[in-house]
A and B are shown apart, each in its own frame.
Chain A
């Protein structure tokens, strides 16, 4: 562990600035203090205990009051008169700080041990210096830490996060659109891949990620139709449970082909499936008594057939391809940022592809851990637009797999990183399993409360802070950070595809050239 300049000394020798004193009744979790300047929310302070212990705290609330300018003072003239008499000298400043950890243990052993007893009223409250905070937050990549950014209130102090804790205990990155979610993902992915040779899989719903790291594997994922489960076909074809007849005939066809195709090539699996359903349709049209398909089912079979035609037309060869690689390591490359570009497929297909590969990944990791041949390294799985693939109120295939990963991933080295601008629409089982949070600007109260309910350490005061965060500023919580921190996240250094379009620039730079040729409609005589 890095020892910052000067912090090896006794804290008494550091001559930390006194910012104020503890007031009122105290507890072992938090204190109010009066201050000589307005405390900054997110700033760290140190409380001097009577037994010589020092405890680090984070300011969660800051207030300035003046007993002579109370909220009942309604007249502007009255306040102006009070100002003429220098009423400002009666301003008082009060802060609330959550007590986080005993400083000596935090610096010497890197362990955040919370105090079990409160400080005394009138105890000194000191400013946490950059040296002290560097000793807490600066870590080495060889120990599994990557840099995320700097402390907002201490811009000279970099903040590192622990990747082991991130993968083992999962992560959620939550914010409104444009607050810096994708940048945060990019910063983490780049450093995990480049500095730790990590393997990351990004489910990129908008195909917005480019060269996030020095080793990038962009994939337009394909699936062999023969590898798809019956449930995945239901989802691909949009067969809801109430479409029971269509499901029934698909199941029948799927089972018949499966039983025969074990000895046959699987390249034509989708065509075989279609042929089989076409047979059912023909059977339903026969008038002899020996037919096995009732004519009443003809409509349902025809509907199913149409859906299968549509599926083949839209995705046959491109997404559903017998050429899909069989080995997982050829799709999710070890030591790479693997980006599944799903911007061109609709939600159902994205759901099937994602769930398909996540299931395979988890199964292979299980095999690897069991000593069999499987996927060889842990993977951090980043799911963009998590509220789409893992929704709270709908059933998706990905949701089921993610629930398994959330529960079992820790044991097998599959870490989740859920990214969303609508946290309240994410499945609560999945979100509550993410011990680590990077929460950027969040405005919608429902989202805030939902995130709080899924987080052990997000206090009401920090919650109130979320709407006022600037772009790129985030509250970072969980085991991956030595302490809860208000962080200005580094810039990724490359342009994301998901940013706002510079509409006016595009308009200003565009020209409409009338080349005299007739347009399409004129050409065809309309």
Chain B
């Protein structure tokens, strides 16, 4: 097969290069520089900092899926002589069964919920900064299938099926389980407990309803994270290594181009610094009118910037939650400068070390997960890939 691929590559070489050039071509080089603020960070190491990341994996059997999710917050405290004397890991993991549809989206949602929950736990442990791996915007707008169907329609069906009290049940259980990391471990996803009786006779409609409830749980815990952060004056920074966001491209350059923001700044700038901070002027999305979520998210904005910590290093995206009327009155640029100084102090090779360690701690390898699945004793069940000699 590889010989066929080599033949195709030879045949299409020029075409492929031409297509790639479209990505790297930009008519707005000078404009990009207008939006890039060169800045040499002055590292200011915090006394304590937490890095949060998560991981998910699944094995699809014929008719159902076994998934695993894990999230961890690594807390570094006790800065003395440039070294953190204490490192504590708060971690949660879960393994369970799901049936189609929307399995991949739901597993991703569970991971995000667990990440936010361990982040909330880290703030109970006297931490100055919380660094989250991933995009806040992405967390708030996914799973995407729910965007294609009117969420309010599904939630109305939820009320009919489960009763209005299902929402307050979720919130009450959330409040209870967020009191300690052990409580989170005992009940990683509260929606599952609320909806457990229906999972055995599930159809597509019920699946949509349960996904909607899980989405409500996610919105509720993110609200709790951001609220606690504001209450305790703990900055929470969402950091993305990769991003398909085109906020700058679309808004400032008006170009119909496949180029993403991160590519633009990565390839057309070189110095350390950050892009001019961008604060959205309207809510991210119209959120559901349950549990007061609409009111909260109507006031939430995301302060967006792209950051490079050293000349020639990688650019990454930073999102900072911003609540209208509650957030600090500093200029956006000065807020970002402070953030860049903090990030520089905890970074090696242009990327925050707490996130690097959290990533390694939570990484679930396929090999390890299959070993766990084997240990469950269900290897006699078919995945359908056995005919290929795979599992």
A and B pair up: yes
Residues of A within 8 A of B348 (CB): 75, 77-82
| Structural contact, B87 and A68, CB atoms closer than 8 A | no
B326 to chain A, nearest CB (A): 32
A86-B84 contact, Cβ under 8 Å, with A67-B360, A68-B356: yes
Residues of B within 8 A of A67 (CB): 360
A84-B82 contact, Cβ under 8 Å, with A77-B349, A78-B349, A89-B87: yes
| Structural contact, B347 and A85, CB atoms closer than 8 A | no
| Structural contact, B353 and A81, CB atoms closer than 8 A | yes
| Structural contact, A85 and B360, CB atoms closer than 8 A | no
B interface residues with partner A (beta carbon < 8 Å): 76, 82-85, 87, 346-349, 353-354, 356-357, 360
A22 to chain B, nearest CB (A): 15
B380 to chain A, nearest CB (A): 22
Q: Which residue of A lies closest to B351 (CB)?
A: A78
Residues of A within 8 A of B347 (CB): 81
User: Which residue of the partner chain, among B87, B346, B356, contacts A86 with CB atoms under 8 Å?
Assistant: B87
Encoded as 1 (CB less than 8 Å from any B CB) or 0, chain A from 53 to 84 comes to: 00000000000000110000101011111111
4 more A-B contacts (CB under 8 A) besides A75-B349, A79-B348? A68-B356, A77-B348, A81-B346, A84-B83
Residues of B within 8 A of A87 (CB): 357
Q: Which residue of B lies closest to A75 (CB)?
A: B349
A68-B360 contact, Cβ under 8 Å, with A77-B349, A81-B348: yes
- In the bound assembly, the distance between CA atoms of A345 and B48 in angstroms comes to 79
Q: Which residue of A lies closest to B356 (CB)?
A: A68
Residues of B within 8 A of A81 (CB): 346-349, 353
Residues of A within 8 A of B349 (CB): 73, 75, 77-78, 81
- In the bound assembly, the distance between CA atoms of A191 and B110 in angstroms comes to 73
The 4 nearest A-B residue pairs measured at CB: A81-B348, A78-B348, A78-B349, A84-B83
A1 to chain B, nearest CB (A): 45
7 A/B residue pairs, CB under 8 Å, sorted by A:
A68-B356, A73-B349, A75-B348, A84-B82, A84-B353, A85-B83, A90-B357
- In the bound assembly, the distance between CA atoms of A201 and B198 in angstroms comes to 91
- In the bound assembly, the distance between CA atoms of A86 and B84 in angstroms comes to 7
A34 to chain B, nearest CB (A): 15
Q: Which residue of B lies closest to A87 (CB)?
A: B357
- In the bound assembly, the distance between CA atoms of A210 and B76 in angstroms comes to 66
Which among B82, B84, B348 has the highest number of chain A CB atoms within 10 Å?
Answer: B348
- In the bound assembly, the distance between CA atoms of A170 and B83 in angstroms comes to 59
A86-B83 contact, Cβ under 8 Å, with A77-B349, A81-B348: yes
Q: Which residue of A lies closest to B45 (CB)?
A: A84
Residues of A within 8 A of B84 (CB): 84-86
| Structural contact, B353 and A82, CB atoms closer than 8 A | yes
- In the bound assembly, the distance between CA atoms of A81 and B350 in angstroms comes to 11
Residues of A within 8 A of B76 (CB): 85-86
- In the bound assembly, the distance between CA atoms of A67 and B356 in angstroms comes to 11
Which among A67, A68, A83, A84 has the highest number of chain B CB atoms within 10 Å?
Answer: A84
Residues of B within 8 A of A83 (CB): 83
| Structural contact, A68 and B83, CB atoms closer than 8 A | no
B113 to chain A, nearest CB (A): 26
Would you list which residues of chain A between 69 and 114 have a CB under 8 Å from chain B? 73, 75, 77-87, 89-90
Residues of A within 8 A of B346 (CB): 81, 85
User: Which residue of the partner chain, among A75, A77, A85, contacts B87 with CB atoms under 8 Å?
Assistant: A85
- In the bound assembly, the distance between CA atoms of A87 and B354 in angstroms comes to 10
Q: Which residue of A lies closest to B310 (CB)?
A: A77
- In the bound assembly, the distance between CA atoms of A84 and B346 in angstroms comes to 9
